[in-house]
């Protein structure tokens, strides 16, 4: 009886942890930000991507900077990064 109760309790804890484990910092794009803004205007609830977050993520991706502020290995720098940011 004790083992069954413990097993059920552990299963519920794992299930609850898995259900709440979403992406904490989603990869925002202009398209996701626009969809979120449209949903917020019509339904009242939007996504997690704002235009500011989309611009920040696009700039990070274009320059090759990771979340910690350092350059990723093999990242484009200089003129290549500027060309990608403008596109």
In a domain, 19, yes or no: no
In a domain, 56, yes or no: yes
In a domain, 60, yes or no: yes
In a domain, 59, yes or no: yes
In a domain, 37, yes or no: yes
Decide which of 41 and 61 is more confident.
41
Q: Domains in the chain: how many in total?
A: 1
- Give the range of the structural domain holding residue 60, as residue numbers without chain letter: 27-73
In a domain, 82, yes or no: no
Confidence of residue 61 (pLDDT cuts 50, 70, 90): confident
d(CA 22, CA 8): 23
In a domain, 12, yes or no: no
d(CA 47, CA 64): 25
pLDDT tens-digit map of 22-57 = 557 778 888 999 999 999 999 998 888 888 988 988
In a domain, 49, yes or no: yes
d(CA 15, CA 78): 46
pTM over 0.85: no
């Amino acid at each position: 009886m004790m083992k069954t109760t413990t097993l059920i309790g552990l299963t519920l804890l794992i299930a609850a942890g898995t259900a709440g484990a979403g992406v904490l910092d989603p990869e925002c794009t202009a398209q996701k930000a626009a969809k979120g803004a449209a949903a917020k205007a019509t339904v009242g609830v939007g996504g997690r991507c704002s235009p500011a977050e989309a611009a920040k993520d696009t700039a990070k991706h274009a320059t090759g900077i990771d979340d910690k502020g350092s350059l990723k290995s093999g990242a484009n720098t200089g003129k290549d990064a500027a060309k990608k940011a403008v596109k």
